[in-house]
Amino acid sequence: MVHSPRVSIVCIFFNAERYLDEAIESVLRQDFQDFELLLVDDGSSDASTGIARDRAANSSDKIRYLHHEGHQNRGMSASRNLGISNSTGEFLAFIDSDDRWRPTKLKEQVAILEAHPEAAMVCGTVNYWRSWEGGEDRFTATGHVLDQTSRPPATALKLYPLGMADAPCPSDVLVRRSVAERIGGFEERFRGLYEDSAFFTKLFLAFPVWFSSRAWTDYRLHSESCLAALSRRQHQEVRREFLDWLSAYVRDHRVEGEQSLTRAIGLARWELDHPVAGRLLRRFRRLLHPRRRPRLIG
């Protein structure tokens, strides 16, 4: 009988030769070793394809290399979905090729989901990592509550992009694979911005989530990232597309709290249509809901 690992880890990458090895090493150094690592190549043209292929060839089947047909570049959502469709574990984790995990991440997250079977996903405090090139790190708690479960529809209303609390970093979550499949995975129309927001919002509207105070993930900040390369106008265009998608999703799926969600979407659209007033309103809302900066405990 073939053993299925408890955790399937999906690492998508595109021209990531500078960082990929460090991300892989942080996975291999986990205290919890019952996992498979799926390296999903989104059409790379640099040395990262060779790095991933070599890792898979020398891993005794613990690491697998995947790529799209014809070695296409299809975007982050399609690449994560390719990993999900080839996964076999009870739980799913994601790590972007430029991020890094701390050694206890999988062990502690699996324990939390085992202790709280009602929770579909767990995530924690994220280190926005600048010290790798001499900057100052910033630890920011995810979610509007700590060390407890949040239920629909409050999670979607309280967290970005509708609310003011910080949303999860994809590299930081552990989610039940059955849940990821039930919500249809990632929305492939969002290739590199709001792709995580669409996935998380679908999950927030249907399932409880556990927000932890533990710090497990170093989220690397650098000028080569997808987000850093976009202009404000491009960001606003994709945000408007996301809000249109979310409005249709809420209407078509008759989710709990539909009226509250529709009002929140309307407010977000108003902020886009009135950028100066919208920025002032967001500043006021941040004063009412300041970012939590927890002490480092993980």
Inside any domain, residue 44 = yes
Inside any domain, residue 41 = yes
Cα 40 to Cα 79: distance, rounded to the nearest angstrom: 6
Q: Say what percent of the chain tops pLDDT 70.
A: 90
**Residue 289: band (very low, low, confident or very high) from pLDDT cuts 50, 70, 90:** low
**pLDDT tens figures, 161-208:** 999 899 999 999 999 999 999 999 999 999 989 999 999 999 999 999
* CA-CA-CA-CA torsion sign (256, 81, 150, 158): negative
Domain range for 74: 7-288
pLDDT at residue 296 is higher than 50: no
**Residue 3: band (very low, low, confident or very high) from pLDDT cuts 50, 70, 90:** confident
Average pLDDT over all residues of the chain: 92
At 226 the three-state DSSP class reads: coil
Inside any domain, residue 1 = no
Q: What is the pTM of this model?
A: 0.92
At residue 261's C-alpha, the angle toward residues 260 and 265, to 5°, is 120
Contacts of 153 (CB under 8 A, 6+ apart): 204, 205, 255, 256, 257, 260, 261
**pLDDT tens figures, 59-109:** 888 999 999 999 999 999 999 999 999 999 999 999 999 999 999 999 999
Domain count, the chain: 1
Strand boundaries in the chain, DSSP class E: 7-13, 35-41, 63-67, 91-94, 100-101, 121-129, 138-140, 148-150, 174-176, 209-220
CATH of the domain at 29: 3.90.550.10
Nearest to 101 by CA among 5, 37, 196: 37
Cα 292 to Cα 14: distance, rounded to the nearest angstrom: 32
Inside any domain, residue 297 = no
Inside any domain, residue 139 = yes
Q: Which residue has the higher pLDDT, 282 or 254?
A: 254
**pLDDT tens figures, 4-50:** 899 999 999 999 999 999 999 999 999 999 999 999 999 999 999 99
Cα 99 to Cα 109: distance, rounded to the nearest angstrom: 17
Compute φ and ψ for 140, nearest 5 degrees.
-130, 130
Inside any domain, residue 157 = yes
The encoded tokens of residue 1 equal: 């009988």
Amino acid 223: pLDDT: 74
pLDDT at residue 297 is higher than 70: no
Q: Compute, in degrees rounded to 10, the torsion defined by CA atoms 264, 268, 271, 273.
A: -120
Inside any domain, residue 293 = no
**Residue 298: band (very low, low, confident or very high) from pLDDT cuts 50, 70, 90:** very low
State mean pLDDT over 233-259.
94
The encoded tokens of residue 266 equal: 């309307």
Inside any domain, residue 298 = no
